[in-house]
Structure 1
Amino acid sequence: MSGVARNVGNHCSVVSCYSHVAFFSNVSLNVHRAVGSPLVMDPNSICRKAKRLAGKQAELCQTQPEIVNEVAKGARLGVRECQYQFRYRRWNCTTDFSKFNPFFLVLCASDIRETAFVYAITAAGVTHAVTQACSMGDLLQCGCEATRNRAPPRPPSSSSGGDGVKWEWGGCGDDVEFGYEKSKQFMDAKRRRGKSDIRTLVDLHNNEAGRLAVKLYMRTECKCHGLSGSCTLRTCWKKMPHFREVGDRLLERFNGASKVMGGNDGKTLIPVGQNIKPPDKQDLIYSDESPDFCLANRKTGSLGTRGRMCNSTAMDISGCDLLCCERGYREETVVFEENCLCRFHWCCVVQCKKCLVRKELSLCH
Structure 2
Amino acid sequence: MSPTTLRAAGSPLLMDPNSICRKTKRLAGRQAELCQTEPEIVSEVAKGARLGIRECQHQFRQSRWNCTIHKKYFGKILQQDIRETAFVYAITSAGVAYAVTQACSMGELLQCGCENTPSRTPTPHPPASGTQAAAWEWGGCGDDVEFGYDKSKQFMDTEKKKGQSDIKSLIDLHNNEAGRLMVKNYMRTECKCHGLSGSCAVKTCWRKMPHFREVGDRLLDRFNGAFKVMGSNNGKMLIPVGPSIKQPDKQDLVYSAESPDFCLANRRTGSPGTRGRACNGTAVDASACDLLCCGRGHREQTVSFQKNCHCRFHWCCVVQCKRCTVRKDLSLCV
Q: What is aligned with 2:88? A: 118
Q: Percent identity?
A: 73
Cα contact 2:128–2:189 (8 A) shared by 1:
no
Question: Structure 1 residue 56: deviation in Å?
Answer: 1.6
1:256-275 pair list within 5 angstroms: 256-275=225-244
The answer to whether residue 169 in structure 2 is matched with residue 215 in structure 1 is no
Contact 2:314–2:320 (CA under 8 A) maintained in structure 1: yes
Aligned-pair CA distance for 1:45: 2.7
**Which whole-Å CA distance do the structure 2 matches of 1:157 and 1:85 have between them?**
30
1:105 aligns with 2:75: yes
Residue equivalent to 2:60: 86
Residue 151 of structure 1 aligns with which residue?
121
Deviation track 1:24-52 (CA, whole Å, cap 9, x = no partner) reads: xxxxxxxxxxxxxxxxx1x2331113531
The DSSP-based 3-state class of the residue aligned with 2:26 is coil
Q: 1 CA distance for matches of 2:219 and 2:299? A: 34
Please name the residue that 2:39 is paired with.
Answer: 65
Q: 1:342 to 1:53 in 2, by over 3 A?
A: same
Query: Which residue in 2 is equivalent to 1:321?
Result: 290
> Gapped runs of 5+ residues in structure 1?
2-7, 24-40
Matches of 1:90 and 1:279, distance apart in 2: 26
Give distance in 2, aligned partners of 1:233 and 1:319.
Answer: 52
> What one-letter code is carried by the residue in structure 1 that aligns with 2:136?
W
Q: Which residue of 2 aligns with 1:247?
A: 216
CA separation in 2, counterparts of 1:362 and 1:157?
A: 47
Give 1:351 shift.
1.1
Number of equivalences = 329
Per-residue Cα deviation, 1:101-137 (whole angstroms, up to 9, x for no partner) = 2x22221111000000000000000000000000000
1:137 and 1:171 mapped to 2: Cα distance? 13
For the residues of structure 2 that align with 1:94 and 1:127, how far apart are their CA atoms? 22
TM-superposed CA distance for 1:189, in Å, is: 0.8
- Structure-2 change in CA distance of 1:299 and 1:136 (3 Å): same
The amino acid across from 2:106 in the alignment is: M
1:209–1:134 CA distance, 2 compared to 1 (3 A): same
2:158 aligned partner: 189
Seen in structure 2, the aligned counterparts of structure 1 residues 50 and 304 have a Cα distance that, compared at 3 Å, is farther
1:301 deviates by 1.1
> Is the CA contact (8 Å cut-off) linking 2:29 and 2:159 kept in structure 1?
no
| Alignment match, 2:99 | 129
- Structure 1 stretches of 4+ with a deviation exceeding 3 A read 191-194
Query: Is 1:278 matched with 2:279?
Result: no
CA contact (8 A) 2:101 2:145 kept: yes
Give the deviation of 1:96 after TM superposition.
3.6
SS of corresponding position for 1:189: coil
> Given the alignment, which residue of 35, 48, 51 partners 1:74?
48
Kept in 2, the 8 Å contact 1:155–1:167? The answer is yes
The residue aligned with 1:311 is 280
Matched to 1:161, the amino acid is: Q
Unaligned stretches of 5+ residues in structure 2: none
Opposite residue 96 of structure 2, the aligned amino acid is V
Residue identity in the other structure for 1:298:
R
Query: 2: CA distance between counterparts of 1:89 and 1:270?
Result: 29
TM-score (ref. length: structure 2): 0.95
> Within 1, Cα distance between the matches of 2:317 and 2:94?
38
Contact 2:127 2:189 in 1 (8 A): no
